[in-house]
Structure 1
Amino acid sequence: MVLLSHFTVELPQIWVFHPMAVFFGMATGVPFPPLWKIAMHIAIFFVIEDAWHYWTHRAMHWGPLYRSVHKIHHNYSAPFGLAAEYASPIEVMILGAGTVLGPIAWCAVTGDLHILTMYLWIVCRLFQAIDAHSGYEFPWSLHHFLPFWAGAEHHDVHHERFIGNYASSFRWWDFVLDTEAGPEAAKARRERKLAKDAKKAKKAQ
């Protein structure tokens, strides 16, 4: 399945990417952008991709789409690194669009993107996906330094429960839209409900 997706979805994208990048005005020569700009663009692309991933991934859990497309990825209830790539070619194309089209749209609007940044972004995104599916919370995992970073534990719960925790990199979409899964999220919901009920009871007195 991984090789099928690589040859049917990713290989054609590799062939057409450079001409498409040039068409949208992406810089391809020297000088290279400064490190601060590369880091800033990659951070922006993580935010854009995370929003795209949340909504498309959540849509993938709708009955017909789940049964015909996304269920393949959920064959592993305890994922490992390679499981990040184990998915239907249709899913790879749809979810992967956020990784490629987000920066392309950014370049089309701002005219400010170097192809080196794009390649480094793709590497970072791939490492993020592997880390999220690794099943391990490493000491160097970003979750330990950024409380709103999702990480492996966040995505493990998604594979265990088959629902909730739809975002790829950050926790804020799941938090704001109340789609967090797992015991901590359930406890927080109970506490919010108890506080709300207590407030109503106090007003009724």
Structure 2
Amino acid sequence: MVSKVFTDSSIAVPAQETFLKTWQVIRQIDNLNSIEQLWAAYYTYIGNDIFATGLLFFCLHEIMYFGRSLPWFIIDRIPYFRKYKIQDTKMPSNKEQWECMKSVLISHFMVEAFPIWFFHPICEKIGISFYVPFPSLSSMAFQVSLFFLLEDAWHYWFHRGLHYGSFYKYIHKQHHRYAAPFGLAAEYAHPIEVMLLGFGTVGIPIIWCYFTRDLHLFTICIWITLRLYQAVDAHSGYEFPWSFHHFLPIWAGAEHHDEHHHHFIGNYASSFRMWDFFLSTEAGDIAKKTRENKQKAKAEKLAKKAN
């Protein structure tokens, strides 16, 4: 099987003996930037699009997840950063980190790996492109921003649903094993929860492309990279003066999600704060006090009208 990774069907580059040689040949093609050249060289050298896409997404997921978790693991062991720890009396032990990592790895290989390896046939079926050149930066930025908003809504409602009755007891309770979360715990969850909430990350781009026929695999790579970065950071347990929500107030971040783990309820959204704010599901003592004051003011207003 030979990859047909070029939009221009007249371009045919056979795979060379090594990836480096394949890349050097493709570098001679005009109108491709350096990332597009590497992308085309990768698919050309592998020569099997199904395997190439599966390997790409599996490695991307593992590198981003554990690569982003590693700095938090190190920070947990440096006393200087303790002042930024949100729940500073609860530091994860090496044993907890190790047990969490083993569980996450099992989930990655036993639950997530299978659909990843069959992702490319779905892409071909609904029109997700993997050709070069890539779409414009503005197009990719718009789609990634839209996916963040749509995934946040999906996550809010299904995460909130997982806190009810048997759903919490038999499914979501596993994720709440750690009342003070840490980076590795972002995907520490029951397989049903992994699939349910994970659909917001993978399924939303698929649905978008099904209706629009306008999506590229590289855009999905960017989206998954940023989504994993956000998920791990939200579980880091640290609040810094330079944390992103200080610059973008609607961003959730670790301070928002840590309250969810601490109180076991509220703050259900993943990336933003709007849903919790407008639906009065914010967690924490400050949010509770604010709701009580609003209810008190409303009651006083009604009492005045009655008199």
CA contact (8 A) 1:72 1:86 kept: yes
> Which residue of 147, 156, 173 maps to 1:45?
147
Partner in structure 2 of residue 131 of structure 1: 233
- State the alpha-carbon separation in 1 of the partners of residues 161 and 138 from structure 2: 35
Partner in structure 2 of residue 192 of structure 1: 294
Partner in structure 1 of residue 260 of structure 2: 158
- State the alpha-carbon separation in 1 of the partners of residues 174 and 250 from structure 2: 28
Q: Does 1:6 align with 2:108?
A: yes
Number of aligned residue pairs: 205
- State the alpha-carbon separation in 2 of the partners of residues 56 and 144 from structure 1: 27
Partner in structure 2 of residue 64 of structure 1: 166
Give the structure-2-normalised TM-score: 0.65
Q: CA deviation at 1:108?
A: 0.7
Partner in structure 1 of residue 138 of structure 2: 36
Partner in structure 1 of residue 304 of structure 2: 202
> Which residue of 5, 12, 20 maps to 2:122?
20
Q: Which runs of 5+ in 2 are unaligned?
A: 1-102
Q: CA deviation at 1:136?
A: 1.2
> Which residue of 192, 204, 209 maps to 1:107?
209
Residue deviations 1:45-75 (CA, integer Å, cap 9, x gap): 0111111111111111112111111111111
The sequence identity of aligned pairs, in percent, is: 62
- State the alpha-carbon separation in 2 of the partners of residues 141 and 32 from structure 1: 31
Match of 2:118, SS?
helix
Partner in structure 2 of residue 119 of structure 1: 221
Of the structure 1 ranges 66-75 and 187-196, higher mean CA displacement relative to structure 2 is found in 187-196
Match of 1:154, SS?
helix
- State the alpha-carbon separation in 2 of the partners of residues 138 and 115 from structure 1: 34
Partner in structure 1 of residue 246 of structure 2: 144
Q: CA deviation at 1:139?
A: 4.1
Partner in structure 2 of residue 86 of structure 1: 188
Q: CA deviation at 1:114?
A: 0.8
RMSD: 1.2
Larger C-alpha radius of gyration, 1 or 2? 2
Q: Which runs of 5+ in 1 are unaligned?
A: none
- State the alpha-carbon separation in 2 of the partners of residues 25 and 138 from structure 1: 42
Higher relative contact order (CA 8 A, sep 6+): 1
- State the alpha-carbon separation in 2 of the partners of residues 143 and 87 from structure 1: 26
Give the structure-1-normalised TM-score: 0.95
- State the alpha-carbon separation in 2 of the partners of residues 80 and 186 from structure 1: 25
Q: CA deviation at 1:137?
A: 2.2
> Which residue of 258, 274, 284 maps to 1:172?
274
- State the alpha-carbon separation in 2 of the partners of residues 58 and 202 from structure 1: 36
1:141–1:24 Cα change, 3 Å? farther
Partner in structure 1 of residue 74 of structure 2: none
1:20–1:153 Cα change, 3 Å? same
Residue deviations 1:143-183 (CA, integer Å, cap 9, x gap): 11221111101110110111111111111111222111112
- State the alpha-carbon separation in 2 of the partners of residues 81 and 170 from structure 1: 18
Q: Does 1:76 align with 2:178?
A: yes
- State the alpha-carbon separation in 2 of the partners of residues 118 and 7 from structure 1: 21
CA contact (8 A) 1:4 1:89 kept: no
Moved over 2 A (4+): 137-142
